[in-house]
């Protein structure tokens, strides 16, 4: 594989790309939607809710936690996960900035 030349891009571009990569799986979108809908910290609901194996869920949670969009708190032998509100609004702002930066008209350009 080629080397990614992230130094050619600004911080916002790299951050947006990292977030987009982490969100680029339907299971991760489903996890985020479930956490947003629950509006609370949850733990074992995801296996039953999504129908995926626990190791698969754990891998997806790890990816989402790595970008900071979710956070986990340890309670005994369980980890409760919830949306990190600060990061959620930061990610929302990154995407909104991209979409609002260059308005697109409905003309056909091709």
What's the confidence (pLDDT) of residue 3? 61
Question: What does the pLDDT average to over 39-59?
Answer: 83
- Which CATH number is associated with domain 10-98? 1.10.10.10
- How many angstroms separate the CA atoms of 96 and 92, rounded? 6
Helix (H), strand (E), coil (C) string for the chain: CCCCCHHHCCHHHHHHHHHHHHHCCHHHHHHHHHHHHHCCCECCHHHHHHCCCHHHHHHHHHHHHHCCCEEEEEECCEEEEEECHHHHHHHHHHHHHHHHHCCCCCCCCC
pLDDT tens digits, 3-25? 668 889 999 899 999 999 999 99
pLDDT tens digits, 63-107? 999 999 999 887 777 788 999 999 999 999 999 999 888 777 776
User: Rounded to two decimals, what is the model's pTM?
Assistant: 0.82
- Domain coordinates in residue numbering, the chain: 10-98
């Amino acid at each position: 594989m080629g080397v990614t030349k992230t130094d050619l891009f600004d911080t916002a571009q790299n951050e947006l790309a990292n977030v987009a990569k982490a969100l680029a799986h339907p299971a991760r979108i489903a996890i985020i939607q479930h956490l947003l809908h629950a509006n609370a910290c949850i733990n074992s609901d995801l296996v039953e809710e999504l129908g995926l194996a626990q190791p698969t869920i754990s891998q997806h949670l790890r990816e989402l936690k790595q970008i900071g969009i979710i956070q986990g708190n340890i309670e005994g032998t369980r980890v409760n996960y919830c949306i990190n509100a600060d990061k959620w609004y930061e990610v929302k702002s990154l995407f909104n900035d991209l979409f609002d930066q260059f308005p697109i008209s409905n003309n056909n350009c091709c």
